[in-house]
Amino acid sequence: MKILFETERLFLREIQPSDAESMFEMDSDPEVYKFLGRKPIRTLAQSKKMIESIRDQYKNIGIGRWAIVEKESGNFVGWTGFKFEKENENGQHDFYNLKFRLLRKYWGKGYVTEATKAAIRYAFTELKFTEIFSMTLISNVKSQHILDKLGFTLEDKFMYQGDEITWYKKVNDL
């Protein structure tokens, strides 16, 4: 396992095809998808396709979402990282969109905040990002709380595909 960076309790690495079962467990859970504005996936093949898409971003852009692995157990617990968005979202295009997701059994342990804080530091210091954006459903108060703790600023609220969305931004201050 090639570790990109680590925190006190976690390793972060590229998402691998071998993560498909764990990704499926996470992404087929209706509670995980409750605040994502779409329905959970239904097949392992959909997880494999998502992993291929993430790995394509590694190859084509040099970034992506990274697996969060618990050091103590070696278990995949979720992912955090960035998707390069070319499409126009809220007047922005060609931007880095921070996203994160955990298997439900790992909720409430502070893993998303810990891993994402390290991912942001890596993005600003190693990848030389100047700014990062993140979006949540307005009803996703927990993710908004995480973004607040990570130093993001709520910039706007807008409608997207019939849902009200929050628009957060963090500027490189390192």
- Where in 19-174 does DSSP place strands (E)? 65-70, 76-85, 95-102, 131-137, 153-160, 163-171
Answer whether residue 173 shows pLDDT above 90.
no
Is 105 a member of any domain? yes
* Strand duo 153-160 + 95-102: pairing: unpaired
Is 27 a member of any domain? yes
Confidence of residue 87 (pLDDT cuts 50, 70, 90): confident
Is 167 a member of any domain? no
Is 144 a member of any domain? no
Percent of residues, the chain, with pLDDT higher than 70: 98
CB 172 within 8 A of CB 129: yes
Q: Which two tokens stand for residue 171?
A: 């500027």
Is 168 a member of any domain? no
Is 117 a member of any domain? yes
Instruction: Note down the domain range covering 38.
Output: 3-134
Is 142 a member of any domain? no
Q: How many domains does the chain have?
A: 1
Is 162 a member of any domain? no
Q: Is 44 left (phi over 0), alpha (psi -120 to 50) or beta?
A: alpha
pTM above threshold 0.85: yes
35 versus 135: the higher-pLDDT residue is: 135
Query: In this structure, what CATH number is given to the domain that contains residue 121?
Result: 3.40.630.30
